[in-house]
């Protein structure tokens, strides 16, 4: 086994161990809380029908929530983790070990993916029990959904890493991700059809992965008749994979360069300065 393969194996093991640790942390309490909040939204939407279709608004929202969860976790999760690991010295230690950054990045991807899986289950399982209109979902639809989710992860994870590399603190990373992504979610047709918002906002929303992830997950789980509520009245499958693919390709081109540059600049003195700044914020 060569050094890079060994580092990759250690990274996968570390990601699994950190995921197991998060199962007993406050992160899962937050997931459960968000799951309950989404369930309440679906409950109140269950008797509302999307204009122009026979599909309930809840049936439209549930798949959209899965796409939203991928985008949210794929950007906010890595950004926060990377910035925290810069502050606590984890990145500096990884940099000092041969192929340590390979193991570190694989560990982050593993943990983020497993965390996302838990989030999706917390949202989908109780939501499926509440929402009608998804009875026709079978193995082909589930497999197609998995493809959309994987492509969505590829389209968002690199950008979360880029933001985490550029942010000077965990608070800065959250500021760069939380508010902007919540704004994008609000205009991306997650909780109501995108056709209900002004045309110029529709154009803006289509520039980001959130809308296309929601469209892809809806196309996987809803009947073809539900496409009447979409722009152009169709699922636009090729466009969906095309836009997500562009975000993924650009992300994987940009992220390694930013991460290498950030790793080269890491030093013990920089880490100590960030640690002191964090302590001062805590005291303040």
Write the pLDDT tens digit of every residue in 6-16.
Answer: 777 888 888 88
Average pLDDT score over residue span 113-135: 84
Q: Is 167 strand, coil or helix?
A: coil
Query: Average pLDDT in the 145-166 region?
Result: 93
Determine if residue 133 is left, alpha or beta; phi over 0 gives left, psi from -120 to 50 gives alpha, anything else beta.
Answer: left
pLDDT at 47: 86
pLDDT of 284 above 80: no
From CA 62, how far away is CA 210, in angstroms rounded?
14
Listed residue (201, 20, 11) closest to 98, CA to CA = 11
Mean pLDDT, residues 215-224 taken together: 93
Distance CA 190, CA 182 (A): 11
**Predicted confidence (pLDDT) at residue 283 exceeds the cutoff of 60:** no
Task: For residues 264 and 270, give the distance between their C-alpha atoms in angstroms, rounded to a whole number.
Answer: 12
* Mean pLDDT of the residues in the chain: 85
Q: Which positions ≥6 away from 117 have C-beta within 8 Å? A: none
Neighbouring CB atoms inside 10 A of 235's CB total: 18
Q: Is 26 exposed, middle or buried (0-12, 13-18, 19+ CB in 10 A)?
A: exposed
Shortest CA distance to 216 belongs to which of 259, 247, 251, 173? Answer: 247
The DSSP 8-state label assigned to residue 130 in this structure reads H
What is the rounded CA–CA span in Å between residue 78 and residue 9?
A: 20
Residue the block writes with tokens 């798949």? 63
Tens of pLDDT, residues 174-192: 888 888 999 999 999 999 8
Identify whether the C-beta of residue 135 lies closer than 8 Å to the C-beta of residue 42.
no
Q: How far apart are CA 61 and CA 42, in angstroms?
A: 7
CA 21 to each of CA 106, 163, 191, 225: distance values in angstroms, whole numbers, following the listed order: 17, 25, 32, 43
pLDDT confidence tier of residue 281, bands split at 50, 70 and 90: low
Q: Do residues 49 and 57 touch, judged by C-beta distance below 8 A?
A: yes
Per-residue pLDDT tens for 54-83?
888 899 999 999 999 999 999 998 888 888
């Amino acid at each position: 086994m060569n050094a890079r393969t060994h580092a990759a194996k250690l990274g996968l093991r570390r990601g699994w161990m950190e995921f197991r640790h998060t199962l007993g942390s406050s992160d899962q309490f937050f997931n459960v809380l968000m799951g309950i909040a989404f369930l309440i939204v679906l409950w109140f939407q269950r008797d509302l029908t999307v204009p122009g279709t026979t599909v309930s608004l809840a049936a439209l929202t549930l798949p959209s929530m899965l796409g939203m969860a991928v985008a949210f976790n794929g950007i906010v999760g890595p950004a926060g983790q990377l910035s925290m690991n810069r502050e606590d010295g984890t990145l500096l230690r990884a940099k000092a070990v041969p192929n340590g950054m390979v193991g570190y990045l694989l560990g982050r991807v593993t943990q983020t993916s497993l965390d996302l899986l838990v989030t999706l289950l917390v949202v989908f399982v109780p939501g499926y029990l509440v929402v009608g209109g998804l009875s026709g979902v079978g193995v082909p639809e589930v497999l197609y959904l998995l493809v959309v989710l994987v492509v969505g992860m590829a389209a968002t994870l690199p950008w979360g890493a880029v933001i985490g590399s550029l942010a000077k603190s965990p608070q800065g990373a959250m500021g760069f991700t939380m508010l902007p992504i919540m704004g994008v979610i609000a205009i991306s047709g997650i909780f109501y059809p995108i056709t209900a918002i002004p045309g110029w906002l529709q154009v803006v929303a289509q520039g980001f992965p959130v809308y296309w992830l929601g469209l892809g997950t809806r196309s996987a789980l809803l009947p073809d008749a539900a496409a009447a509520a979409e722009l152009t009245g169709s699922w636009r499958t090729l466009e969906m994979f095309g836009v997500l693919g562009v975000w993924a390709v650009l992300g994987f081109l940009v992220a390694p360069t930013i991460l290498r540059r950030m790793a080269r600049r890491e030093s013990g003195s920089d880490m100590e300065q960030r640690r002191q700044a964090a302590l001062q914020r805590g005291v303040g």
